[in-house]
Structure 1
Amino acid sequence: MPVLFLWAFLGKPTKEADILQVLQNIMSGTGIFCQGEGMQKYTILGIKLYDYGAREALRNTDSFLHNGALNTIAYISSSNLAQASKDEQLRECLEAVDMTICTEPDVLEAAGIAGRNRIREIDEKVYLRELLKKFGRNRNSVYLLADTHDNLEVLGEIISEYQDNLLIRGCGAYEDFGNQPERLVNALNDLAPDVVISRMPWPEDLYLMHDYGHFVNAELWVSLPFGAVTWVQNPSLFARLKRKLVYRAFAHNVNEYNKKRDG
């Protein structure tokens, strides 16, 4: 790779070691990650959560895939948190998830921990893209789960938009199991996939993960958000306006909660 290209990419390196590091980062794919974005603990609307930069989240994922127990990952939005703040059981289920990922930066912005790099990672879906690439490279077997056949089709489209070479072990609609978790668990255990990826009306799969996950013979269960707006690559003007309105309402709720908490 020409040195001039590297200069244009990252600015003129000051040492030969800088060039070598750039090359290593590009070859390993780490150039897409932000520097200095690790784990941050935060509390919002009374819910205690952790935010992980994409690199740290992928390290956690590697651990989840090899620790011999089912671990859970849930994508969350501001509306999810607003709902959980009013339901103690739901809040406990959410706090019990092994790792949460924000669908939009508004949650971190309202919590006051939204660095510029993290906002970019969230907007560009860096973790999701790299997660699905990891599944493809490792040939991790995947089971796709949705509440209905229509939503299962949407889930398949979402997945293929990001990664089209996954090893799909099976697909299922919860309605085909009579919405009975025991039947779903039996079907999953018959196939024993490495990963379950679900898309259901929130918090249906969150409750399933919490109450029945320890019966599932898999390494990882990932809950993707229900609702298409946050997954549109080029959102319409209406979608962008809706996002702003939702954020303003959420930020107002957070401010009001903090005022009451602080007296």
Structure 2
Amino acid sequence: MAHDVLVIGGGPAGLSAALNVRARGRSVLVVSNPPEENPLWRAERVDNYIGLPGVSGGELLTAMRRHAEDAGAEFRQGKVLNAVHMGDTWYVSVDSDMENAPAVILAAGISRGKKFPGEAEFLGRGVSYCATCDGMLYRNKPVAVLGYSDSAQHEADFLAGIGCSVTYFDRPKDCVISGKDRVESVTCGGETVPVEGVFLLRPTMAPTDIFPGLAVENGHVAVDGKMATNLPGLFAAGDCTGGPLQVSKAAGEGLVAGQSAAAYAAALARKNK
């Protein structure tokens, strides 16, 4: 099912954006990790969000999500892997499915950690970011899972369930992926394991990996006053656009991005009538 706006990220920026898309009468789908994997969820006390002193991060996220749901925003849990713009539409790969919308709001926070040596070189030749998408290619073969989220173990269990011999590395910091034409081994923390596939399961991918050609400045997504990026129909809000990394800033940028994306989708709808 197509939506007017697709929001990537279920934190304050993404939820604020979704709420404001609905306030403009447009449909919106929010794609995100489980709320419990958001860094804000683990905050015991948030004292600088105006009007709600002393709430926990989990309480704040729960209230924000409920507000967006009550306004009619739709949600699905999943990992966005890539996106392509064709005509007036963005086609966004979510796990093994495809979602589409004329406007997209990137609000997935910041990608923590640099690529490992060999990661980019072997992408598609043994390196994958989604076990449920690509796992069948490695059925009954040895694989490694580099897990950086609470849900990563579930993907590792899926691989084991289809016959893979799984070596699990829990949040490794220093890894090297090696091989000739394809992945042949991975080394993490001094331990080398022969494998045919390496699944890097990070909560958030780098924006430029999802959106090739996306302009960045000082490592952050470049946006204008309407939170528009250099790519048509793509807006961004929250931590991915730079500091300060605060809930109030994220929610405010989400409001602007939501209004801008809704207006963009409405303009396209009028043009294509």
Do the structures match in fold with TM over 0.5?
no
- Higher-strand-fraction structure: 2
Q: Which structure has more RCO (C-alpha within 8 Å, separation ≥ 6)? A: 2
The alignment's TM-score, normalised by the length of structure 1, stands at 0.29
TM-score by length of 2: 0.29
Structure number with the higher helix fraction is 1
